[in-house]
Amino acid sequence: MTAAAPLEPSFPQAIEISGQWLALWEAGELSEEVLADRVAELVASRDGARGFFVVSLAGDSPLMDRLPEPVALQLRLAGDPVVDLTVRNLAMSTAMAVHHQRSGDAEQQAGSERVQRRSSELLRLLEPEAVKQRLETLLAASRDGCGDDVVFLERWGYDAEQKSAISEAIDAVAD
Percent of the chain with pLDDT over 90: 94
- What is the spatial distance between Cα 32 and Cα 83, in angstroms, rounded to a whole number? 21
Same-domain pairing of 83 and 62: no
Q: pLDDT of 84-111, one tens digit each?
A: 999 999 999 999 999 999 999 999 999 9
Same domain (yes/no): 73, 83: no
* Model confidence at 125: pLDDT above 70: yes
What would the mean pLDDT of 139-158 be, rounded to a whole number?
Answer: 94
DSSP letters, 3-21, are PPPPP---HHHHHHHHHHH
Distance, in Å, from the CA atom of 19 to the CA atom of 14, rounded to the nearest integer, reads 8
Are 18 and 74 part of one and the same domain? yes
Q: Is the pLDDT of residue 147 over 90?
A: yes
Q: Within 10 Å of residue 75's Cβ, how many Cβ atoms?
A: 25
pTM: 0.92
Question: Same structural domain for residues 90 and 44?
Answer: no
pLDDT at position 4 is 46
Average pLDDT over residues 116-137: 97
Give the confidence band of 175 by pLDDT, cuts at 50, 70, 90.
confident
* Mean pLDDT on 41-48: 95
pLDDT-derived band of residue 6, with 50, 70 and 90 as boundaries?
low
Phi, psi torsion values for 17, nearest 5 degrees: -60, -45
Q: How confident is the model at residue 1 (pLDDT cuts 50, 70, 90)?
A: very low
Same structural domain, 34 and 94: no
Residue 4 placed within a domain: no
Helix, coil or strand: residue 118: helix
| Residue ranges making up the domain that contains 113 | 79-175
Of 22, 47, 78, the residue that ends a domain is 78
Do residues 75 and 43 make contact, with C-beta atoms less than 8 angstroms apart?
Answer: yes
pLDDT at 135 over 60: yes
| Same domain for 117 and 151 | yes
